[in-house]
């Protein structure tokens, strides 16, 4: 069964204190692993897609990496505006070009204090 | 370029009632998916519509049904509401067969009392 587990559930950092969020997954044929950011009362906002082990993507203070079993979201020198819930999701390969559903983890709630 | 829009933003219903939620996809997208997000949880896949047909379905009862219109917009209907149906309902759009990510709306917050 396709499954995503995120850790930690919650993380509190001081401004400038770098850290990493973990996403462990099992999926029958990975098409993509996605990272989203979600602010309270809002829908998830797309951050990154990773397709194969060894791939890395960067955006401002965020860097996502992928192995065959897990993904990490590294946050370098975070600022208070980085506070949000970070969601990880996997998508299995579809058939005939079909766009398959996303399987989400429960998220990591990040709080960055000034 | 308008993103995914959902209406209404908030809704309060009583147990046993029926509700309809609406979604307009991002311009250029033809596939709409619906997700349910309970408080403190990740989104759970309900179903996906493409070419006005339900293409995939998650583990949700038949009380949950949907529709897609020729302009690609979509509705989610929930009958015989239960307290446990209280959640944020998210609509996401994409292009079928395109490797672009899902784009989400800001959701409809449904409260069942």
- Check CB contact of B84 with chain A, cutoff 8 Å: no
Are B42 and A107 within 8 A, CB to CB?
yes
User: Which residues in A lie closer than 8 A to residue B35 (C-beta atoms)?
Assistant: 102, 104
Amino acid A57: pLDDT? 97
For B55, the closest of A34, A44, A98 (CB atoms) is A98
CA distance A86 to B22: 26
Q: Give me the long-range contacts of B65-68 (CB less than 8 A, separation at least 24).
A: B66/B34, B68/B32
Q: Which residues of A touch B94 (CB under 8 A)?
A: 99
**pLDDT the model gives residue A96:** 54
What residues of B are in contact with residue A105 (Cβ under 8 Å)? 42
Cβ–Cβ below 8 Å for B97 and A97: yes
Buried-exposed string A37-62: b where 16+ CB fall within 10 A, e elsewhere: bbeeebbbbebbbbeeeeeebeeeeb
Residues of chain A with pLDDT under 70: 94-99
> Which segments in chain B show pLDDT lower than 70?
1, 98
């Amino acid at each position: 069964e396709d499954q995503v587990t995120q850790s930690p559930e919650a993380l509190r950092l001081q401004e400038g204190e770098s850290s990493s969020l973990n996403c462990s997954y099992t999926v029958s044929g990975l098409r993509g692993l996605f990272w989203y950011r979600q602010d309270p009362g809002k829908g998830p906002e797309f951050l990154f897609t990773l397709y194969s082990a060894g791939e890395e993507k960067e955006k401002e203070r965020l860097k996502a990496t992928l192995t065959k079993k897990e993904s990490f979201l590294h946050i370098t020198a975070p600022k208070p505006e980085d506070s949000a819930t970070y969601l990880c999701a996997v998508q299995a390969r579809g058939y005939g070009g079909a766009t398959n559903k996303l399987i989400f983890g429960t998220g990591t709630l990040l709080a960055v204090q000034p | 370029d308008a993103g995914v829009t959902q209406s209404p933003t908030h809704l309060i219903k009583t147990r046993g009632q029926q509700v309809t939620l609406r979604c307009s996809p991002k311009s250029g997208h033809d596939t709409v998916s619906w997700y349910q997000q309970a408080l403190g949880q990740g989104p759970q896949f309900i179903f996906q519509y493409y070419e006005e047909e339900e293409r995939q379905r998650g583990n949700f009862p038949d009380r949950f049904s949907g529709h897609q219109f020729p302009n690609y917009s979509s509705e989610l209907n929930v009958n015989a509401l239960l307290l446990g149906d209280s959640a944020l309902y998210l609509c996401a759009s994409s292009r079928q067969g395109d490797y672009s990510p899902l784009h989400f709306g800001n959701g409809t917050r449904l409260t069942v009392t």
